[in-house]
């Protein structure tokens, strides 16, 4: 006698859920090398529609036969009506595969995912941006959105640091920001070279050049985890409150949508509740920083 095995009923994913898991394929329009390790990729819009993203959000980028990687959207929403940009550092399988692609090739994307910077809360405030290294990639999206609505904000101060002059990203844009009368840009490198005449030292050495009005200042920072502890000390030293300090916590991510647990910090999924958090939200989380 054959007894039919009883299978638990598995619900079919809804259309919305399928969109979470199934990549949409988009064509690469342009690729520009920024440094030896980083390239900026311009992509066509998925199905011709803007991503509708918020600075600080990421997408999962897939290269067929290789895998998927979470990458922050680097273009500002205000400049992403025809295409969008990602800045990718070559570190391993997926990012090397991306670097080997050419304009015209296609990649899969899922997203945008996660919680970005609370742009609306920043209106009317003085803004202090402190990107370190590749952390400029997501903050560039936010900075350019602010610049495109410049009259809505108070002071805009950017402190940007890289390990050496060759690793400074988006040099043309840095020059443009530096030339703007209503943007204050300070650069530093850990180690200069013969051509470097600017500040030498880690990013925290730039804080001595600025004064802020702490009650009206919001800070946004993104960079290597080691940088956060020291930048936070400087921000607290300037009197900026915990709820006005926003940072991006990049964890190992797989699904990007709260299903796999790879990005978990205590009871928080960084891919959904973050990657952008205020310091006030994460200060109680062990191993968050
Ligand atoms: C929210 C978020 C936003 C990100 N934004 C960007 C971005 O704008 N540009 C960019 O270049 N990268 C970004 N990253 C990092 C990027 O996702 C990893 O570099 C990428 O997943 C590595 O994949 P791979 O297959 O090339 O490397 P692998 O072959 O998987 O690994 C190569 C090396 O990278 C390390 N690594 C792998 N995954 C990560 C990770 N998530 N974080 C840190 N180290 C990792 C491994 O330990 C190993 O040493 C972001 C990560 C997150 C979570
Ligand atoms: S990446 Fe899967 S739960 Fe966050």
Token readout for 75 is 């273009």
Token readout for 102 is 């050419």
**9 compared with 286, residue with greater pLDDT:** 286
Q: What is the CATH number of the domain that holds 191?
A: 3.40.50.80
C-alpha 45 – ligand 2 centre gap (Å): 25
Are 57 and 126 in a shared domain?
A: no
Tens-place pLDDT, residues 79-133 = 989 999 999 999 999 999 999 999 999 999 999 999 999 999 999 999 999 999 9
Site to substitute for ligand 2 among 70, 259, 275, most atoms within 8 A of C-beta: 259
Asked, for residue 259, whether it belongs to a domain, the answer is no
Ligand having the closest approach to the CA of 72: 1
What pLDDT shows up at residue 18? 63
Are 103 and 134 in a shared domain?
A: no
What pLDDT shows up at residue 289? 79
Are 242 and 123 in a shared domain?
A: yes
The C-alpha atoms of residue 91 and residue 105 are separated, in whole angstroms, by 20
Ligand 1 near 252 CB (within 6 A): yes
C-alpha 25 – ligand 1 centre gap (Å): 21
Are 99 and 155 in a shared domain?
A: no
11 pLDDT higher than 80: no
Asked, for residue 253, whether it belongs to a domain, the answer is no
Are 60 and 157 in a shared domain?
A: no
What pLDDT shows up at residue 3? 45
Q: Look at 28-37, 152-161, 215-224, 280-289 and tell me which has the smallest mean pLDDT.
A: 280-289
Asked, for residue 38, whether it belongs to a domain, the answer is yes
What pLDDT shows up at residue 143? 98
Residue of minimum CA distance from atom 29 in ligand 1: 92
Site to substitute for ligand 1 among 36, 70, 248, most atoms within 8 A of C-beta: 70
**267 compared with 213, residue with greater pLDDT:** 213
Which residues 6+ apart lie within 8 Å of 37 measured at CB?
A: 89, 90, 91, 167
Ligand 1 near 88 CB (within 6 A): yes
* Boundary residue ending a domain (81, 113, 145): 113
Ligand 1 near 141 CB (within 6 A): no
Are 123 and 241 in a shared domain?
A: yes
What pLDDT shows up at residue 285? 81
53 pLDDT higher than 80: yes
Asked, for residue 184, whether it belongs to a domain, the answer is yes
Domain count of the fold of the chain: 2
Are 101 and 154 in a shared domain?
A: no
Identify the residues whose C-beta falls under 6 Å from ligand 2. 253-256, 258-263, 269, 271
Are 82 and 129 in a shared domain?
A: no
234 pLDDT higher than 90: yes
Tens-place pLDDT, residues 147-202 = 999 999 999 999 999 999 999 999 999 999 999 999 999 999 999 999 999 999 99
* Boundary residue ending a domain (93, 113, 133): 113
The model's pTM is: 0.92
Are 109 and 64 in a shared domain?
A: yes
Q: Give the pLDDT band (50/70/90) at residue 250.
A: confident
C-alpha 47 – ligand 2 centre gap (Å): 26
Which residues 6+ apart lie within 8 Å of 167 measured at CB?
A: 35, 37, 133, 189
Range of the domain at 23: 15-113
What pLDDT shows up at residue 20? 83
What is the average pLDDT across 195-221?
A: 95
14 CA to centre of own chain: 29
Asked, for residue 175, whether it belongs to a domain, the answer is yes
What is the average pLDDT across 254-270?
A: 91
Are 128 and 242 in a shared domain?
A: yes
**Ligand 2 atom nearest to CA at 256:** 1
Asked, for residue 256, whether it belongs to a domain, the answer is no
Q: Taking Cα atoms as reference points, which of 263, 262, 259, 251 lies closest to residue 21?
A: 259
Q: What is the CATH number of the domain that holds 83?
A: 2.40.30.10
Asked, for residue 225, whether it belongs to a domain, the answer is yes
C-alpha 254 – ligand 2 centre gap (Å): 6
* Boundary residue ending a domain (91, 113, 135): 113
What pLDDT shows up at residue 286? 75
Are 133 and 231 in a shared domain?
A: yes
What pLDDT shows up at residue 8? 46
What pLDDT shows up at residue 267? 87
Asked, for residue 185, whether it belongs to a domain, the answer is yes
Ligand having the closest approach to the CA of 94: 1
C-alpha 204 – ligand 1 centre gap (Å): 25
Are 94 and 190 in a shared domain?
A: no
What is the average pLDDT across 61-72?
A: 96
């Amino acid at each position: 006698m054959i007894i039919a095995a009883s299978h638990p009923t598995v619900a079919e994913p809804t259309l919305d859920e399928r969109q979470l898991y199934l990549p949409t394929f988009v064509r690469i329009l342009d690729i520009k090398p920024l440094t030896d390790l980083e390239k900026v990729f311009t992509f066509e819009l998925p199905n011709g529609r803007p991503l509708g993203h918020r600075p600080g959000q990421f997408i999962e980028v897939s290269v067929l036969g290789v895998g998927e990687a979470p990458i922050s959207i680097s273009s500002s929403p205000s400049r992403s009506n025809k295409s969008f940009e990602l800045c990718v550092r070559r570190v391993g399988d997926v990012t090397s595969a991306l670097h080997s692609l050419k304009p015209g090739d296609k990649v899969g994307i899922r997203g945008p995912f996660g919680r970005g910077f609370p742009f609306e809360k920043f209106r009317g405030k003085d803004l202090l941006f402190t990107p370190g290294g590749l952390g400029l990639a997501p903050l560039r999206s936010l900075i350019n959105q602010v610049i495109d609505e410049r009259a809505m904000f108070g002071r805009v101060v950017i402190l940007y640091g890289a390990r050496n002059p060759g690793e400074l990203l988006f040099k043309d844009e840095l020059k443009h920001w530096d030339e703007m009368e209503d943007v204050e840009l300070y650069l530093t490198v850990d180690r200069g070279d013969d051509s470097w005449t600017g500040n030498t030292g880690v990013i925290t050495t730039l804080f001595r050049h600025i004064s802020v009005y702490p009650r009206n200042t919001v800070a946004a920072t993104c960079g290597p985890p080691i940088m956060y502890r020291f930048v936070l000390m400087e921000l607290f030293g300037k009197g900026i409150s915990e709820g006005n300090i926003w940072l991006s916590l990049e964890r190992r991510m797989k699904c990007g949508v709260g299903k796999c647990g790879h990005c978990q910090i205590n009871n928080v999924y960084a891919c959904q509740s973050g990657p952008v958090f205020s310091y006030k939200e994460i200060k109680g989380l062990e191993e968050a920083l």
